[in-house]
Structure 1
Amino acid sequence: METAPRNEQATTLHLEAREAGQAGNYDLAIQKLNEAMVIEPNWAYPVYDLAFTYLLKGDFANALKYYKQTDELEPAGFFTTKTAVYTLEGEQNGLFPEGLYTFYMQIEWTEEPEKKYEIAKRIVDNIPGYAPAWKELVYLQNDPEERLYAIEQGLAGNPDSETKGILMLNKAMILHEKGDSDTARKLLEAIIESQETTASNSAIAKVAMRSINEN
């Protein structure tokens, strides 16, 4: 994942765009991000932030367009890009209600665990096939059986590759904690060997595998 460009002017424009976006000046942010993209066309960060800015503006078509472009630049994964594409495509195709991804992102924007849980639970209650919300519930619950239930529900929802990897990683570690290290290893091997696995999930799986083998 390349987060820093070679060009200083592109870096400055990107920082200025983020400041403008944080101040709610989305049009100025879009202008500066486009300027940065002209200078560094292969740098994914301004493209990713452009997608996010359009998301904040409620322009879901352009948000999807630039999340897809980010994914093309960083096919091994770039922050929440794969989940964004999965959700916004689902919205576009009528699989999910419009605005779902914006609502889901509120989980990231709040620091209160109770609020995070409330948002995720509301989503799965109304859209049980939305895997990313089940993924959030895995983190927000302590009981291993409840976490495993959330994992299975998420995996059944045909998740994006990033979400699927995280769900499988959590399942592997819970099974290891329950004493089923053999199944945990098989899950981790599947993550590492899969062509769909993101770079971050593959790296985590390798660390988890070493940890299991050392115990």
Structure 2
Amino acid sequence: MKSDIHKLSIPIMPLGNPFPPRHCSLCPKGSAIDRDNKHRLIDKRKRFKAGEVLARQDEAAGMLFVIHEGYCKASVASGDNVFISRFYVPGDIMALDAVEGGKYLTTIQAATAAEVCHIDIARLFMVAEKEPAVAAAVIKFLCRDNGFIVEKLRRYANKHAEARIAAFLVEFYEMHLRIGRPETTLRLPFSREEIASYLDLKIETVSRALKSLEQQNLITLHRVRTVTINSYLGLKRFI
């Protein structure tokens, strides 16, 4: 089947280079809050190994985080259970849900080796009181974060397993499109167990759904974590 991946126009936010250089561009997100780091809000870029914790659920929140490179995940502990609540790609701002209450609502971990920049929350709001542009950027990102939650419910609620997997692949692909990475062969940085937790499915159900989508020639599975999207519109029809 010939790929129809480009039939539907999606806004792409180019970074100049499909893969950001090693200097800190902060993708578009950091510069949108503090252009050229004028107020020195963006600092403490730090490297994390896969599995390292950036923030822990219920701890006092002092920082927001912007992914420069790599992938992260957020999880929520409830009793003895831990659920994956969100995946993050380069350019994403993490821990926005901690702004109002002063504590982290999720545990944020590096899913792969990652480089992450830090934004001091107290300093951010001090600057926002004097700079309307910074305040407007913060409000915009908070609204967008809330919009993501609504969109997740729309995509996944009351959907069968195959539809959830299709929606997840569409979501992951579109997240990369927005940061200027249009490749249709995706290296999934998350395990099937993590994807199952995110979609509220069993691991074996995830495997069966992926195989079913491959049999329909909508995707091609390669190694355990590598998948090629053959038909973007075909996957979108499940949503």
**TM-score normalised by L of structure 2:** 0.27
Higher helix share: 1
Q: Considering Cα pairs closer than 8 Å and 6+ residues apart, tell me whether 1 or 2 has the greater RCO.
A: 2
